Copies of this chain bind each other. A is one copy, B any other.
Amino acid sequence: MAPSTARQIMDVHPTGFGLIDRKKLDAAISAMQVASQAASVCADACLNEGQIKDMRECVRTCLDCADVVDAAVRTLSRHAGWEQSAAPTILRAAVAVLDAAGHESARHASMHMHSRLASEACRKAQTACEELLDSLAARS
């Protein structure tokens, strides 16, 4: 499989993205982009389901997820040489919203396929973020 554009462009960054594990960073960024978009569609789909009272919390956690995860993708794509002091805290916030959206969506997964797909996307992104967090901790 051809390397992602995200990976290619990190590899040619003038500083080489420093000591960070680029494979894990690329995996986290890709998984977060999938999860963010899935959460946006899931929130929208929930609005058309019959039992909106049951779906309200799912709408809200999915919207939070898209907002925080998009900010994480941006900030993790930045900082040549990768001395970004706020990165672990931002990743923890991403993990928190991915966990909340993954959990809420999973509650509706047997009823709604969009909830199942969003839940799976959030879980994958959460795992990728946790692995990146671990590698940042090991480095410092």
Within 8 A of B (CB), among A34-66: 34, 37-38, 40-45, 47-49, 52, 56, 59-61, 63-64, 66
Q: Kindly provide the distance from the CB of A64 to the nearest chain B CB, expressed in whole angstroms.
A: 5
Are A37 and B77 also in contact (CB < 8 A) when A42-B9, A100-B86 are? yes
- Copies of this chain, tallied across the complex: 4
Residues of B within 8 A of A133 (CB): none
Known A5-B117, A45-B14, A56-B48; judge A63-B86 contact (CB<8 A): no
Which residues of chain B are near A135, meaning CB under 8 Å? none
Interface on chain A toward B: helix, strand, loop, or mixed SS? Answer: helix
Give the residue name and chain of the B residue nearest to A39 (CB). Answer: B77
A interface residues, Cβ below 8 angstroms from B = 4-6, 8-10, 12-15, 29, 33-34, 37-38, 40-45, 47-49, 52, 56, 59-61, 63-64, 66-68, 70-71, 73-75, 77-80, 84-86, 89-90, 92-93, 95-97, 99-100, 112-114, 117-118, 121
